[in-house]
Structure 1
Amino acid sequence: MNIQKERKKTEIEERHFFVNRNIERAHNNIRSADEKYSKNIICNQKYSLFTFIPLVFAQQLKHFLNIFFMLVIILQLFPPVRVSHPLTSIFPWALVQVFVYIKEGTDDYKRYKRDKEANDKQCTRYTVGGAIRVPASELAVGDLIIVTKDERVPADAILLKTEEVNGSIFVRTDQLDGETDWKIKMSHSVFQQMDGFDKVAKSYFEVIAEPPSKDIYSFNGELLVGDTQHKVHEDNMLWMNMVIASGTSLCVVVYTGKDTRAVMNTTKARNKSGLIDKELNFYTKILCSMSFSFAILFTVLRGTYSMWYITLVRFLIIFSTVIPISLRVNIDWARVVYARGMEAHSDTPIVVRNSNIPEELGRISYLLTDKTGTLTTNEMEIKKMHTGDLCYTPDFIQEIYEMITNPKSPADLTACELLIAMCLCNNVIPYAENNKIGYISSSPDEMAMVRWAEKVGITLWGRGPGWVEIKTADSKKRYELLHTIRFTSERKCMGVVIKSEDKVYLYMKGADSVMKKLIIGKDWMEEEAQSMAKEGLRTMVFGRRLVSEEEVKELAQTHTISEDGLDLLGVTGVEDKLQDDVRVSLETLRNAGIKIWMLTGDKVETARCIAVSSRLFSRCSQILTITDIKTRQDADLAIKRIEREKDCLVIDGGSLQILMDMYKTEFITAVSMLAAVACCRCSPTQKAEIAKEVSRITKKRVCCIGDGGNDVSMIQQANVGIGIVGKEGRQASLAADVSVNEFKAIVDLILWHGRNSYKNTAKLAQFIIHRGTTLGIAQGIFSSLFNFCPISIYQGKISIGYVTFYTFLPVFSIVLSKDMSKKVSRKFPELYSDISNGSVLNNSTFSTWMFMGYYQGVVIMILTLFLFESALIQLVSITFSCLVLNELLMVFLCVSKVHNLMIIAQSISILLYFLSFKVLSDEIQIPSEWKKFLLQILLVNIIAILPAIVQYAWRIWMNPPSYRKIQATYSY
């Protein structure tokens, strides 16, 4: 019974459709496949038209402040417990909500525009009527499409036919799996033998494919042409985001949209909230507890028990001023300012796509980076060629050319043989392009070697079945290719058997660790290979030996040949070019206390070389390499080795997965202590899992940066995701929180913009809490001196004006404060680590601000009541004026440097306040003796602010922070 259910389930999930079932329908551009399949669209939006309001509202309910003030508003609607007009509570809360909805809507609309740009990208659909250009979003399962050189594959498709006779094409997959080597794909033989694309377009056939899955390394399917079934394998598949590197291909679309391998390996975008939001949520709960405590205490002290619950609720509403409702809106406004500042004040283009996380850039402890396209340009170049006697570099191209043209010594002849070996021992296919020779290769290393040989006068001129042709300055020579020993990741070497005139040679190349077992007379090889590896170069060792006639006969029968006994020809060192200023950037970030991990889909050897050349690993570091873990015993041993290490780790994807499955917490904890880590052969889901678990287990903030579609999951999972606009696509850029054009841009983004954003937001938040606390305590003192009467001293419009018109601009000007220039932040990256651990917002700083709020609230109310005998309206005027002036003065003590906009904001606030005496004369007024009135306010504020001045002076002159010491030397 279960077997029958399983079969039925498989039949339902299995993808089965017809192509060109009705030729007339196909001619009229009518789809053959069912409409049940997913649309071919990219969607990074968080909300739809219907979910926008409820989801944003649900997001707001995560913040305790919003829940509390909704309760206050509801209570204010009932007259028995009302202490002021309901608008005094409704207006601030509504203002906050309106801003949040505008901000979230704007951000999501921007994501919609970016998605639309990607979905509207044109591609070629092929029908009986010919080729037509359509947006990628209009493609459907069963469509025939044409993809040409340098075009991105718009959906998962089966390769039916290519323009190459043998049906092969090369593809680049670095945007899919992170691997830099080009892959070869083969068209299906049943269609490749047809004449032209038109013949295929007029063919009727069926496609049976496995259900959509994440696995990009396997595929099972069938083509039913007539009554014949033809198997389809992974070699026949083009996955979305692959880029065609050569030729033109005709394909049939099998999976679209969310069913494609690329999208299924991408995690759903999540609503990110910063660590500072969680911290402030915690502190607002403390404030709420204080508000409840005060309300209960004052209710008990009032001594009225018949209607005690009415009194309790009224006091609760009165003390709700301690909880700052404007906190959220101020922080959200600040984030908009930070985002615009990042985009406007950057040396390179920056686009902030998620304005909720600027402060997170100031809390980064771990940076997880992709390799290809992020740290490197994926452009290979030979930096050294060593033949034992001499070492050749690109600085001596002309000398090498002359030496090759006219060799005069045995060393010259050895160099010639090594260059010929570079041209013979590879899979590079040359072709003519604009009267120049061009090359197609699955390996950037092989491409670099062939181009190097071409520069010095030995050119790979042609390749065909069983032959290779090489051109020198004055002649061409064709070599017979008898056999090819293919490269595998296990063997780490490849070879060719070549017949030249009457002699047969075996040429081999490979990693030094493998070739040293096959070569005789290798006294200098290992030393030179190690020297190149320390420079971050990818080493390749070449060897050659003469093949006897007996071996040739045996090769023809068994297709195998002995690979040892080689004579050493030389060692080459290939450099994967780094992005501009990568070395300096990594060193600067490391000095800022940020630990850097490299997550790549590339091979272990490649990743290790880049880690060294980019200075992710220092040259004197001890590098622990862990590969091929299979059992729990291997995993136990690996954990112990990592715990003993203090430097660097290189680990392959298989071993990583086993350790994450068996010892996730122990592994992450141990690895997080290392200076740097390189994870190789990582799948997109592995990258995302590492980002998630590092943040969860270490309780630190993780930033991920990448440029490819295979990095999207990692970027979306990180606390902060940074996308680089890549050469092959914009998937990472579109899905990221912040988009940059090059890696070096993140130095200023993190060390300056991130540091300023976090520091200023922490100050702003605590200042606003202090402002509410001061007002609440003043109100409490007033009530306690008047028989604990639950009446608000500040009624109506002035209550609203306190946090809006009178203090908003000066307080908000804190977000524009800067304590150093970009240049200084780069020169002293250690200043970042001073605050990234949360030193500007913690229990100590919160307590200090709370004490200041308590003290100032008590002083302002008591001094006014006991030193100045005044009528109630004058009491309101004096105390309220003192509260406003106190906040304006405190702003000056809160910033590192006073700026012009702050002075303007202070002036506007003072002007608005004095105008209020005219407009709101029924609530506040200046007494006839206005000079005495001003002196009273000034005296009270001097006494109120004195402890803050003393504390500020002690902090600046007696125990100055690091940035203050630097300010004394570097002006900005």
Structure 2
Amino acid sequence: MARRTKRLAKLKLSQLYSFGLCHRSPYDDDQWRIGRVFRQVYVNDPDKYELEGLTYPLNGVSTTKYTVVTFVPKSLFEQFRRVANFYFLVCGILALTPLAPYTAVSAWSLVPLCITVVLTMAKEGYEDWRRKQQDDELNNRIVKVHSGNGNFEETKWNNIMVGDVVKVEKDNFFPADLILFSSNYSDGICYVETMNLDGETNLKVKQALEVTLDLNEDTKFSNVRQKIECEDPNANIHSFVGTMNWEGQEYPLSPQQLLPRDSKLRNTEFIYGAVIFTGHDTKVMRNATDPASKRSKIEKKMDKTIYFLMFSLLIIALLGSVLFGIWTKEDLKDGAMKRWYLRPDATTIYYDPKRADLTSFFHLLTALMLYSYFIPISLYISIEIVKILQAGFINNDIKMYDKESNEPTHARTSNLNEELGMVDTILSDKTGTLTCNMMEFIKCSIAGTAYGQGVSEVEKAMAMRKGARLDADIENGDHKEKKIDEGPHVKGFNFEDPRIMNGNWIHEPNKDIIRDFFRLLTICHTCVPQVDEIGKVSYESESPDEAAFVIAARELGFEFYSRSQKHITVHERDLIRNVFQERKYEVLNILEFTSSRKRMSVIVKEPEGRILLLIKGADSEIFKRLGPGGRKFEEETRQHINEYSDSGLRTLVLAYRVLDEKDYKGFAEKFHAAKVCVSADRCVKIEEAADSIEKDLHLLGATAVEDKLQKGVPECIDKLAKAGIKIWVLTGDKMETSINIG
């Protein structure tokens, strides 16, 4: 504890800490490249940092625009960036000189400007103070940190350091970027909500390395001293490269072990983790941008209007000054002194016929001050007051209050209030925003045969537009969909086809392929089952598609029951004895899904000893990897996929490959070498290893799931379209699917 306190005191006195709370990490951004191993983390060993000369920032963060020192100069600079404010400042200074046409009250000319500037600065200061309050609330949150000898003490977030071991409990946020050591689950999994990072509502499943699973009690950390080498801080929340040295062995770390700051622990009692990135080095803060000085379109348009008024004012003043100079020269020339009211007998520098040019210039300055009220400074005062009142109305608008989350609206930057009425284009993603992100298994194609008689929302909408009836809806004049609703609806399963339901698949001509199809759905995923007190199984999944797949397989007689890091247990219905048989598969490797790979593979060993590669992915990736003997049903499957896409369904293709011991051994060595590699090309090496095994596949079929629109979305889009607002939707679906959903 004393060593940690000493290190904490040094960090607080360091220049790095002083500026770290006001700004981002003061590093060159070009240095932080994904995969470049630079950071060394010594877990539970604070003395090592001093010996190695390593200094990392503390965990405090600041999202404010100003500090106590910079508020006045920065805020004044922002105010006088406005052309009108700068103009009135110049005029106000000139008004204090003898050139002022209204000397008796010259000082009062600065009062409107001072009111405008002070009012705006007060508004900016208040909004920044609100940000500081939020920062203080965040920095002063409490988490349990290992203080030595197996004791965990409550510590504020801003005092957390790299290398600390923390204990985070259920429904709490992670205080920094952590490496997961263990959880209350025996297999070291935990469920993480990353809505604050990526906007996704479905829980992510994280899993600790097998070697750290035993660290599941406070006292077991008393003698833990480990070294972690990992990539530099970067903004990519989906990437992480590192290794952990555990008892002389190197173990690869991946995003599966990374718990990013601002994500929340869900459905897990507690986790233990080691801090690797703190403060502005965390991924969420690397993605944050410094608070910008925002100006609305109206304000920018006002500036253009002010420029025009200033130009007009300058022309008027310049014209008057030139004429004044000409007439002054004429007074000297003929001696008539027609302008007797200028008192030529009391000549001054402001009226001297002998120096008409200088007199003309002074007249120009006087005219600029005299006509300064041509620029409406009161307009700025009124707008600032209106914006403050608008922000109050927005914050208290009951119609903008969300009951589910108990969250009102927050006008964090009142400068942009009027922008709400100027939206002409909306950019939106589809899944989870327009749709419910609740997938339902509705159709499938197995061995070239299409199964599933359900009707998607898109099919219904297309039929309504065409004024036609759907064949699938008609049976003896009645809607067949009524059959689907007869029993209790299973979430994620909206499939109806008597040919393969209730065990009838055993009578199909390709029953072996159908069995392999549903076995693949049961095994090839990253879902985690939860078994309650009465033995009922529910599933947690990173992807709602995968949850729909395992639910569909369960409803059709193939139940995914349990998993550990090395095994998956499946209950298959014995159709002869009408009982479930347990089959345990050994999980050899998982080749995870990425947006670039567009596929996922699992290599397992069957109870009979056969090694299988099971793969699912986009049709563009799977079809080109089929072997010469695995394309038997390709043409029919492609046709079915096109039909599913036209119906607005999301499709995946399923295939497999039987591996011999020699092929698998060669792949396993190459894959392990790629995973323990900590260079920047680690992902490339893993991809090369996967490519070497994901080939010569045998096609099984394809799945089709439906993601229904959220309630009220069609009506909302209709109103936006009538308002002339253009809507762009970003989606990873096939082109046909996207067009038909639109």
TM range (shorter): 0.5 to 0.7
Structure 1 gaps, min length 5: 1-5, 24-30, 600-605, 622-972
C-alpha displacement at 1:146, in angstroms? 1.9
Q: Does the 8 A contact of 1:17 with 1:33 survive in 2?
A: no
Equivalent residue in structure 2 for 1:280, among 302, 318, 323: 302
2:175 partner amino acid:
P
- In the alignment, residue 511 of structure 1 is paired with which amino acid? A
Q: TM-score, normalised by structure 2?
A: 0.67
Question: Which residues in structure 2 correspond to 1:131-170 (within 5 Å)?
Answer: 131-148=152-169, 151-165=172-186, 167=188
Count residues with an aligned counterpart. 590
2:415 equivalent in structure 1: 356
Residue identity matched to 1:428:
C
Deviations 1:453-511 (A, max 9, x none): 44566532234545532155952212253666745553735366675789998865433
Q: 1:39 and 1:358 mapped to 2: Cα distance?
A: 36
1:18-48, Cα deviation, whole Å (9 max, x unpaired): 554589xxxxxxx999995333234221112
Letter in 1 for 2:618: A
1:620-645 deviation line (CA, Å, top 9, x unaligned): 99xxxxxxxxxxxxxxxxxxxxxxxx
Label 1:541 to 1:139 Cα distance change in 2 as closer, same or farther (>3 A): same
What corresponds to 2:601 in structure 1?
494
Match for 2:426: what amino acid? L
1:391 is aligned to: 452
* Inter-partner Cα distance in structure 1 for 2:321 and 2:191: 80
Alignment correspondent of 1:644: none
Question: Quick one: which amino acid aligns to residue 318 of structure 2?
Answer: I
Whether contact under 8 Å (2:150, 2:221) holds in the other structure is no
Distance change >3 Å, CA 506–CA 607, structure 1 → 2: closer
Cα contact 1:182–1:444 (8 A) shared by 2: no
Q: Which residue of 1 aligns with 2:570?
A: 469
> Residues 423 and 470 of structure 1 are in contact (CA less than 8 Å); yes or no, is this contact kept in structure 2?
no
Asked if the contact 1:207–1:224 (Cα under 8 Å) also holds between the matched residues in 2, the reply is no
1:410 to 507, 510, 516: 507
Partner of 2:493 in structure 1? none
Give yes or no for the alignment of 1:46 onto 2:73: no
After superposition, the Cα gap between the structure-2 partners of 1:332 and 1:185, relative to the gap in structure 1 and judged at 3 Å, is: same
Structure 2 distance, partners of 1:369, 1:562, is 34
Give the distance between the partners of 1:278 and 1:258, measured in 2 at CA: 33
Distance 1:392 1:197, change over 3 A: farther
> TM-score, with normalisation over the residues of structure 1?
0.52
Task: State the 1:288 CA deviation.
Answer: 1.8
1:357-389 deviations in Å (ceiling 9; x for gaps)? 123334444434455654455433324345535
State the AA in 2 paired with 1:157.
L
Query: What's the % identity of the aligned pairs?
Result: 26
* Post-superposition offset of 1:539: 0.8
How many angstroms does 1:446 deviate by? Answer: 1.4
2:97, 2:384 → 1: CA distance?
A: 31
- Taking the aligned partners of 2:322 and 2:214, their CA distance within structure 1 comes to 94
For residue 553 of structure 1, report the CA deviation from its aligned partner.
6.7
What amino acid is the match of 2:643?
S
Q: 2:652 aligns with which of 520, 534, 540?
A: 540
The equivalent residue for 2:288 is 266
Distance 1:161 1:264 in 2: 26
Identify, as 1 or 2, the structure richer in helix. 1
> Which secondary structure state, in structure 2, belongs to the residue aligned with residue 353 of structure 1?
coil
Q: Is the 8 A contact 1:510 1:542 kept in 2?
A: yes
SS of the equivalent of 2:551 reads helix
What's the CA shift for 1:432?
A: 1.9
* Shift in CA distance, 618/215, structure 1 to aligned 2, threshold 3 Å: closer
SS in 2 for 1:39: coil
Whether contact under 8 Å (1:171, 1:243) holds in the other structure is yes
2:118 equivalent among 98, 116, 119: 98
* Equivalent in the alignment of 1:842: none
- Alignment partners' CA distance in 1, 2:154 and 2:707: 37
C-alpha distance in structure 1 between counterparts of 2:180 and 2:632, whole Å: 45
2:525 corresponds, among 419, 426, 435, to 426
Instruction: Kindly state the Cα deviation for residue 429 of structure 1 after the two structures are TM-superposed.
Output: 3.3
Per the TM alignment, residue 322 of structure 1 is displaced from its structure 2 partner at its CA by: 0.8
Match of 1:826 in 2: none
Q: What one-letter code is carried by the residue in structure 1 that aligns with 2:732?
A: A
Distance in 2 (alpha carbons) for counterparts of 1:38 and 1:149 = 27
**Which of 523, 531, 539 is equivalent to 2:643?**
531
Query: 2:240, 2:254 within 8 Å by CA — same for their partners in 1?
Result: yes
1:289 aligned partner: 311
Give the counterpart letter for 2:105 in structure 1.
H
- Residue in 2 that maps onto 1:257: 279
Q: Distance in 1 between matches of 2:161 and 2:581?
A: 50
Deviation, 1:61, is 1.0
- The 3-state SS of whatever aligns with 1:334 is helix
- Residue of structure 1 aligned with 2:704, choices 573, 579, 582: 573
State the Cα distance separating 1:527 from its structure 2 match. 2.5
Match of 1:450 in 2: 550
Letter of the 1:200 partner, please give it: F
Q: Structure 2 counterpart of 1:326, which letter?
A: S
Deviation at 1:324, TM superposition (A): 0.9
1:782 alignment partner in structure 2: none
RMSD: 4.5
The CA deviation at 1:256 is: 0.9
Per-residue deviation, 1:115: 2.9
Query: Residue deviations 1:307-343, cap 9 Å, x none?
Result: 4444433322221111111121122223234434444
| Contact 1:534-1:612 within 8 A present in 2 as well | yes
**CA–CA separation in structure 2 for the residues paired with 1:507 and 1:203:** 38
Matches within 5 A, 1:463-612: 463=563, 465-466=566-567, 468-470=569-571, 472=573, 474-481=578-585, 486=591, 488-489=593-594, 490=597, 492=599, 494=601, 499=606, 509-516=616-623, 517=626, 518-542=630-654, 566=698, 568=700, 570-576=701-707, 578-586=709-717, 588-589=719-720, 592-597=723-728, 607-608=732-733
Letter in 2 for 1:360: E
Native 8 Å contact 1:44 1:115 kept in 2 = yes
1:198 to 2:219 alignment: yes
What SS class does the counterpart of residue 415 from structure 2 fall into?
Answer: coil
Structure 1 residues 532 and 159: CA distance shift in structure 2, 3 A: same
For 1:382 and 1:446, the matched residues in 2 are separated by 10
Q: Which amino acid aligns with 1:313?
A: L
CA contact (8 A) 1:18 1:33 kept: no
2:336 matched residue in structure 1? none
User: Which residue of structure 2 aligns with residue 240 of structure 1?
Assistant: 261
- In the alignment, the residues of structure 2 paired with residue 544 and residue 80 of structure 1 have an alpha-carbon distance, to the nearest angstrom, of 91
Cα displacement (A) at 1:450: 1.3
Q: Distance in 1 between matches of 2:603 and 2:267?
A: 24
- Structure 1 residues 345 and 255: CA distance shift in structure 2, 3 A: closer
Is the CA contact (8 Å cut-off) linking 1:492 and 1:511 kept in structure 2? yes
Distance of 2:712 and 2:618 partners within structure 1:
29
| 1-structure distance, mates of 2:665, 2:85 | 81
Instruction: Indicate which of 62, 86, 92 corresponds to 1:67.
Output: 86
What amino acid is aligned across from residue 527 of structure 1 in structure 2?
Answer: Q
Distance 1:567 1:46, change over 3 A: closer
Q: In the aligned structure 1, how far is the partner of 2:204 from the partner of 2:554?
A: 23
TM-superposed deviation, 1:169: 5.0
Structure-2 residue corresponding to 1:329: 381
- The alpha carbon displacement at 1:565 in A equals 7.5
Flag structure 2 segments of 5+ consecutive residues without an equivalent.
1-27, 329-350, 353-358, 402-408, 456-480, 488-495, 668-691
Q: In 2, distance between residues paired with 1:472 and 1:147?
A: 41
